[in-house]
Structure 1
Amino acid sequence: MSSPKKATTEPHVIEEELIASGKWVKLEKTTYVDPSGSTRTWETTKRTTRVANIASDAVTIIALLKRTLHKDCVVMVRQFRPPMGCNTLEFPAGLIDDNETVETAALRELKEETGYKGEVVGVTPVTCLDPGLSNCTTQMVMVHINGDDTENINPTQQLGDGEFVEVILLPLNEFQQKIDELLKKEKIVVQSMVYIYAMGMSQAFFKPRELPVLKQ
């Protein structure tokens, strides 16, 4: 077996040419040099809303609802996504506004989409979403919600015009199981990071020393 070729050139972007632009996204032709030194092109989508002074485009909120005499639940949202042509199951999320911290954006989006008020307990580094298609990035923000707090007993969403979001609570210790049950009942697509998180939680609860295996 021949050994893999070693890179001789540091890959880098040469030029980004605008092909088309809309209100929220734009399409560019990216010209770059690959590790072999060859010049190639790529079609790239980008957000038009990216703010120069912040590290990522958006926040994704992993919110855990804690209530007395109840199982801890992950706060999820279900909404119709036109690109998918159906409903999706996602973590609450949203774009970071100008001059807004990641933590502030996460708590604002959580309040708007779910009505819950929470406390930030952790933030991930900047992560990419679909790097073969776009340069879009997000930071995942872990939030704890005190479900016994008065304002969290009957939370009220603060949705904008054209937003239709349904809040779904799924028990943390049955997270993957409940998602699988939902998939059998209706036409819905699960956000990839949600299912990966569900697999990790299932692994942590039931088989911490084994690699996760999906049923065929």
Structure 2
Amino acid sequence: VLYDTSWQSTMDSVNNNSNNISRMSQPVTGGTDRVSLLVFYNKPLYHECVVLLKQYNSNLNNYTIEMPTGVIEDNETPELSAVRILSEQTGYIGSVKTVGPSLSDTPCSSGQYSRIISMRVDGSDIKNSTVKSNFTHDTNGKILLIPVEELLDKLLAFTERDYRIDSKIDAFAIGLVKGKATKKNIRSCHS
């Protein structure tokens, strides 16, 4: 075990690839290990926002902008895990909207699997007006609310300040922009 806290435990091994080059990898543990949350914050008369976390990542020796993410505990469904992680890391109470399939996080070096779960937070709910997060206290992190239509631009601005961006949220932001451009410029395939 290389790293062990209440949030994460990592066991690594060295394997040779097809070219006999050694690579560090993590063993397959079976099933889905963790969930990453794509959280949309809605409040009347405000822009729809994506909830992200800014925190220091010691593995990268840098600050990261990332989706709330956590390990699925024993006897917990991905949905229950998502609700718990959202509350622990942001203080928000939210509802699960969709549960994605089990995905390989980094197939070339890890046996970890995760699910992306989309959630909605009602910003007008009184429970979400005075949030208290374990995340900001434990990690000196910050909760970010970024308007959906500004997401890619804001992420690019963070990279210019040398922050590291979670690849899942970056891919989502690029998809939003490309989808919007395609919708404006191309007829439907079903036309």
TM-score range relative to shorter protein:
0.7 to 0.9
Q: TM-score, normalised by structure 2?
A: 0.84
Q: Is the aligned partner of 1:136 residue 2:116? A: no
1:3-18 aligned at under 5 Å gives the runs none
**Once the 2 structures are TM-superposed, how far is the Cα of residue 125 of structure 1 from its aligned partner?**
0.6
The residue number in structure 2 matching 1:98 is 74
1:160-175 aligned at under 5 Å gives the runs 162-175=138-151
Partner SS for 1:116: coil
Q: CA RMSD in A?
A: 2.6
CA 1:81–1:21 in 2, change beyond 3 Å: closer, same or farther?
Answer: closer
The residue number in structure 2 matching 1:198 is 173
Separation in 2, partners of 1:204, 1:67: 24
Partner SS for 2:145: strand
**Once the 2 structures are TM-superposed, how far is the Cα of residue 202 of structure 1 from its aligned partner?**
1.5
Q: Is the aligned partner of 1:187 residue 2:162? A: yes
Q: TM-score, normalised by structure 1?
A: 0.75
How many residues of Structure 1 are paired with residues of Structure 2 in the alignment?
Answer: 182
Question: What is the CA deviation profile of residues 94-133 of structure 1, one whole-angstrom value per residue up to 9, with x for unaligned ones?
Answer: 0010000000111111111111110001011111111111
- Which protein has the bigger helix share? 2
Larger mean Cα displacement after TM superposition, 170-179 or 97-106: 170-179
The residue number in structure 2 matching 1:69 is 45
**Once the 2 structures are TM-superposed, how far is the Cα of residue 42 of structure 1 from its aligned partner?**
5.7
Equivalent residue for 1:78, pick from 46, 54, 58: 54
The residue number in structure 1 matching 2:10 is 25
Larger mean Cα displacement after TM superposition, 87-96 or 198-207: 198-207
**Once the 2 structures are TM-superposed, how far is the Cα of residue 174 of structure 1 from its aligned partner?**
1.4
Q: Point out where structure 1 has 5 or more consecutive residues left out of the alignment.
A: 1-19, 212-216
Separation in 2, partners of 1:42, 1:159: 36
The residue number in structure 2 matching 1:57 is 33
Q: Is the aligned partner of 1:158 residue 2:134? A: yes
CA 1:25–1:203 in 2, change beyond 3 Å: closer, same or farther?
Answer: same
The residue number in structure 2 matching 1:16 is none
CA 1:101–1:182 in 2, change beyond 3 Å: closer, same or farther?
Answer: same
Separation in 1, partners of 2:163, 2:88: 23
Separation in 1, partners of 2:40, 2:3: 36
Residues 203, 210 of structure 1: 8 Å contact kept: no
Equivalent residue for 2:84, pick from 105, 108, 113: 108
Separation in 2, partners of 1:99, 1:160: 27
Which structure has the bigger radius of gyration? 1
CA 1:132–1:72 in 2, change beyond 3 Å: closer, same or farther?
Answer: same
Q: Percent of aligned pairs with the same residue?
A: 22
